[in-house]
Amino acid sequence: MKRRDWVGYAFIAPWLIGFLLFTAGPFLASIYFSFTRYNVVTPPVWVGAANYEALFQQDPLFWKSLGVTFRYALVAVPLGVVIAVILALFLNLNIKGIAVYRTIFFLPSIVPTVATSMIFLWILNPQIGLINGLLRSFGIIGPAWLADPNWAPWTLVFMALWGVGGSMVIYLAGLKDIPTYLYEAAILDGATPYRRMRLITLPLLTPVIFFNVVMGCIGAFQTFTQAFILTQGGPEDSTQFYALYLFNRAWRYGDMGYASAMAWILFAIVAVVTSLLFRSQKRWVHYGS
């Protein structure tokens, strides 16, 4: 190894040390802990596959949290893609002040999740909230939103749509990357705006859509902050997301071995879902012009 190589490694050594201590180390250690009974205070005790057996056979909340998370992902991810693409199409128009509109729609995505959650906690308050206040002005009695088990999961879906500005910007960049000569040729052939969107815009935007679907699914399976701040998993465990339940098992009940097993099951689920998405891309993702 040459001297300049050692200089390069010396520069990245702080990151490498941090990665090994705080990422790779805990990642590998959690494999061992998932096969133990471990509460941080006392040394881990090897129990084999007991944690996994308890999860699959004796823990109904494990299955319920999985169901809540899958249902959320199946609704929030497609809705987020559709709304973000529609916004990007509108914000791709060449009109006066378009930069201002883009900024307005992008701003919610950079507001910290905790701050957004606290704002929505007031907006969705059944008694003094802004939304129910507006509904009352039209003679409509609004629901309890976060306090109603039938409404709470869909309220969190609505909150997720509030932050589609981040993916909207990515779609906007993808739209800018589509060659203009394709549209010019289509116009000369007499293609309507709808046909241009269906035959040119959407097919060439599918790589960007695919990227956002993958990232959206990974993010949906890790949903935690909104439920932790707004509902704590209630009411009636209707917003008990998998990541929230994992957090409670680890830090509220001190069952680190059990939580480690849950983490590896989540890792396996995300890996399988991502693999299926990558296999499906051959059927609907179009690269090139």
Place of tokens 């099951």: 265
User: What integer is the mean pLDDT of 266-281?
Assistant: 96
> If pLDDT is split at 50, 70 and 90, which confidence band does 164 have?
very high
DSSP annotation of 37 = E
CB 239 within 8 A of CB 229: no
pLDDT in tens, 200-234: 999 999 999 999 999 999 999 999 999 999 999 98
Q: SS3 of 171, please?
A: helix
Share of the chain above pLDDT 90, in %: 82
Q: Is 1 helix (H, G, I), strand (E, B) or coil?
A: coil
Report the DSSP pairing between strands 45-46 and 36-37.
Answer: antiparallel
Query: Would the pLDDT of 1 be above 70?
Result: no
What is the rounded CA–CA span in Å between residue 213 and residue 154?
19
Cis peptide before 126 (omega within 30 of 0): no
pTM of the complete model: 0.91
pLDDT of residue 289: 52
- Round to whole Å and give the CA distance between 277 and 167: 18
pLDDT of residue 9: 86
Q: At 36, is the secondary structure helix, strand, or coil? A: strand
Does the domain formed by 55-284 have CATH 1.10.3720.10?
yes
Q: Kind and range of the H or E element at 154?
A: helix 152-161
Q: Are 154 and 94 in contact (CB under 8 A)?
A: no
Q: Which residues lie across from 45 on neighbouring strands?
A: 37
pLDDT of residue 6: 84
Average pLDDT of the residues of the chain: 93
In angstroms, the CA 38 to CA 30 distance is: 11
Name which of 39-43, 65-69, 153-157, 221-225 the model is least confident about. 39-43
